[in-house]
Structure 1
Amino acid sequence: MPSLPKTAEEALKFLKDNKIKWVDLQFTDLPGRLHHITVPASEFTEDSFKTGFGKLDGSSIKGFTMIYESDMVLMPIPQTMAVIPWNEGIARVITQVFWGGGKGRFERDPRHIAEEAEKKQSEEGYISYFGPELEFFIFDKVDLDVATPQSGTGYKIHAREAPWARNGGFLIRYKEGYYPAPPVDQLMDIRVEAINILTDYFGFNIEATHHEVATAGQGEIDFRFSTLADTADKVQTLKYVVKNVAAKHGMIATFMPKPMFGDNGTGMHTHFSLWTKDGKNLMYDPNDEYAELSQIGRYIVGGILEHGRALSAIVSPTTNSYRRLIPGYEAPVYLVWSKSNRSAAIRIPSYYRGMEKAKRLEYRPPDPSCNPYLAFAAILMAALDGIKKKIEPGDPVDENVYHMSEERKKQLKIKELPRSLDEALDELESDNEFLKPVFNSSILNTYIDLKRDEAKTMQQYPHPMELYYYLDA
């Protein structure tokens, strides 16, 4: 296993020791997709870590720049340098995006927002930790027909475990995918190959991997929590590795929230805790009988719930996200909190008592189609706003909200998450002051415009099921 570098000097030695010929400069666009430019390793010097690589045409990247201001610089982050094991002689490094011409940091670089959020919390004496649980599907292939949308669109999923596969072997019934042992779980080898690569080459501390609840190859990988920007880097790296390992086997991995009807979608439940710089967990109170949650912890919960509808536009950022956020599929719909209720938007895990280091909240609405740099920064800012304004979350709800009457929900003043991307964007437009200490107006406006356009485009296409229901109208 290559020892990962921490400094520019160590990164240069890393390239030499591992006989690296080419380096992938990786960065993330505004919607959250990973991009890369490959350069010769010989171009890396001590100076290149200070001046960066003037290789990027920002006008070609979604959410970046216009054609008349397109020259941009990629600044490598030494501690993200790692060997790409499926490409001999190639390494990758995550980069920061700068304006060309010495004009400073590019304000719409998503990683810049994550770094600004870390700077903000540091000024207030805090440090936050994030631990996302990434779910995904691994399909054998997907037949996608969108070449001529005027005459119709459609898709077909091929998945060896699925009830419709007819492969003559084992299958996984709908909603019965939790933890079946091989050979019923037919994708364990791919998941294990991915976590071995993440551990051996990218420095991950993997906590678990398993088959998820849905049929058709749904899996999950959990890694140990870390600081905000580092965790976002790890999310992008995990998606990159899982997709490439699946592709090596002739399969396709997708982090799309809801690729199929009738079974659970794909979430990214995100664990969050806030600490002092000297190592005190601000969310822990051993004298709290309900969940050992401190008063500051309650304010944090209150802030995230208060801004939960606006957060949806960032943590559940696609039109497809709202096909996941429906009752009956273990996805949250209601802005309530609880100790163990998985129908709640926020859960306070309570596996153990008396463990300060374990006290945290689990925010369940996010899905892995989000931009993790923006999502984690937004969650942090909602939490800090809750502390600043002392926002109470109300009483916990330990009932199954899905089974509540409308009268009972009104009695408890339970708010719902938005039901569409457009509705979420409306909320973000009206509730974004809590983000402004970190999210500049340029990135907020550009993000909303991009997502409005995405939603508008999707609304123009007839859905295949509309023909089923309305062809005889």
Structure 2
Amino acid sequence: MSREELVKEVVESMKTENVRWVMVQFLDVPGRLQQMTFPAREILDDPENAFNVAVGGFDGSSIKGFTMINESDMLLRPVPETFAIIPDDWQSPPGVAAGRTARFLAQIFWGGYKKGEAKRFEKDPRYIAERAEEYLAEQGYKAYFGPEVEFMILNKVINEVDRPWKKMHVEVVSAEAAWNTELPIIRFEEGYVPAIPYDKMFWIRQEIATVLEDHFGIQVEAHHHEVASPGQGEIDFRFDTLTRAADKVVTLKFVVKNVAAKYGLVATFMPKPVYADNGNGMHTHQSLWSKDKDENLFYDPNDEYAELSQLARYYIGGILKHARALSAIVNPTTSSYKRLVPGYEAPIYIAWSKANRSAIIRVPNYMRGVPKAARIEYRSPDPSTNPYLAFAAMVAAGLDGIKKKIEPPPPVDQNIYAMDPKTRRELEEVVRKQLGTPLQLPRTLCEAIEELENDHDWLFPIFTKEMLETWIEMKKEECLKIESYPHPAEFYQYFDI
């Protein structure tokens, strides 16, 4: 379908569905969803202008990571492929006659240009993803991504923080949590795929999956309870091209949070909201295909180990080589590094393998002899990342590996956590010799940002200079701010010292 045909179909659907309002959404640099809302007539009266110029403007200086106050005029151009009708029963409070509402994701442009001369905003995260796809195409590739997004649906979270910080208290309330006195509960680290009625969030996830399919056109492949006790879930959708897969992550988070809110619950994608239980990850499956042929370039039937091509091995080599710097983008919060610790299935070692979940890259080995199934799974990312930037950075690292023919170290099929110290030291020597990097990922966000400052040339020409500089500055400030707060656990640990 041509773009003109798609726009015509969207306009007809808006008329048929009696759409009165249009949400136009975008991500700020950290990855939080923002929106402006316009009357539907702003599109229906002049679709050509709306979809080819802009539907409206906003103040970019008020958006985190965007612009200064003296250059604040920004334009929103809706992406017709992301059109969806918001479920009517999301309106709150119940019974409010708010009017049928549609939703688009948007591209962001600088304001102040003549019609037809608008310039893309260099720090629009979706623009970085689009640049990644353009760069892939120049190399003769297209990339497919299939992220597994984990989250927790909780009854409520009570957060008491009084300035000047005389009170610091967070209480997580979950009907499933291991600390509840009322049975049944799900024990710590034993939440993987229990049946109903123990999986108390099943019907909530079921509704989320239904809304994703029926309203947003996202094909769900599976949903299930995950390992952590308090309401942890995962929803997997069918793989897609890089930007569209990132769009789907944005949409999934939007739907999860709104369906939870509809029932008076709260959803979080925070990497480590609960101590002593598994955190929320976003294992990301990916593969490169020929741009012009329907051919998976990661597949090699003659490879006895994992049916993986040499090109795929170079791609793995690139991610492993830059894994410590890449962490600053795919694990971008201080909470991320509380997830990346031994004992909770979150990988911290720069290694790869088939089936081995203690390595940061796993080659899924469910079925052999199926070309389209050949892929790698990058396991360290988490859903606090901005998916547009994360997927673009993964591609940049992988393509650098292909360009420089970075051969990864031999695969590690042992549980790295359970290795004796001598064996692990030997593995570290191999990794350092072959990749020039330590075996372990950074332990803090500050350490990861330092790595990115020293190792980032591989991000160009996909990332803009403006985006990289803003990301580093913003994350430096964030990690230093969080690390300066006294923590309740420190009182427990050190008060009587």
| TM-score, L = length of structure 1 | 0.97
1:91 to 102, 105, 110: 102
Note the 1:252-331 alignment, pairs <5 A: 252-277=266-291, 278-331=293-346
Partner of 2:52: 50
Count of residue pairs the alignment pairs up: 469
Between stretches 377-386 and 406-415, larger displacement belongs to 406-415
2:410 paired with 1:410: no
Partner of 2:436: none
1:180 to 194, 202, 210: 194
Cα deviations by residue, 1:309-343 (Å, 9 ceiling, x for unpaired):
11100000000000000011000000000001100
Partner of 1:81: 83
Cα drift, residue 5 of structure 1: 10
| Letter aligned with residue 214 of structure 1 | A
Cα deviations by residue, 1:402-450 (Å, 9 ceiling, x for unpaired):
1123332221224111000011001111111110111111100001101
Distance 1:299 1:129 in 2: 17
Cα drift, residue 52 of structure 1: 0.1
Percent sequence identity over aligned pairs: 56
Partner of 2:144: 129
| Letter aligned with residue 453 of structure 2 | E
Name the Cα RMSD after superposition.
Answer: 1.3
Distance 1:348 1:132 in 2: 14
Cα deviations by residue, 1:55-110 (Å, 9 ceiling, x for unpaired):
21000000000001001000110111100002450010000000001250000000
Distance 1:405 1:429 in 2: 33
* Contact 1:136-1:218 at 8 Å conserved across structures: yes
2:211 paired with 1:197: yes
2:376 paired with 1:361: yes
Distance 2:339 2:385 in 1: 14
| TM-score, L = length of structure 2 | 0.93
SS of match in other structure, 1:196? helix
Partner of 2:351: 336
Partner of 2:458: 434
Partner of 1:215: 229
Between stretches 45-54 and 299-308, larger displacement belongs to 45-54
Note the 1:364-375 alignment, pairs <5 A: 364-375=379-390
Cα drift, residue 149 of structure 1: 4.5
Distance 1:179 1:372 in 2: 26
Structure 1 stretches of at least 4 aligned residues deviating more than 3 Å after TM superposition: none
Distance 1:410 1:180 in 2: 38
1:70 to 69, 72, 84: 72
Cα drift, residue 394 of structure 1: 1.2
* Contact 1:337-1:344 at 8 Å conserved across structures: yes
Between stretches 294-303 and 82-91, larger displacement belongs to 82-91
Question: Unaligned stretches of 5+ in structure 1?
Answer: none
2:8 paired with 1:9: yes
SS of match in other structure, 1:19? coil
Cα drift, residue 146 of structure 1: 1.4
Cα drift, residue 7 of structure 1: 2.1
1:150 to 165, 174, 195: 165
2:172 paired with 1:170: no
Partner of 2:362: 347
2:489 to 446, 452, 465: 465
Distance 1:196 1:335 in 2: 37
Partner of 2:24: 25
| Letter aligned with residue 388 of structure 2 | Y
1:333–1:342 Cα change, 3 Å: same
| Letter aligned with residue 36 of structure 2 | I
Distance 1:5 1:91 in 2: 19
SS of match in other structure, 2:162? coil
1:339–1:264 Cα change, 3 Å: same
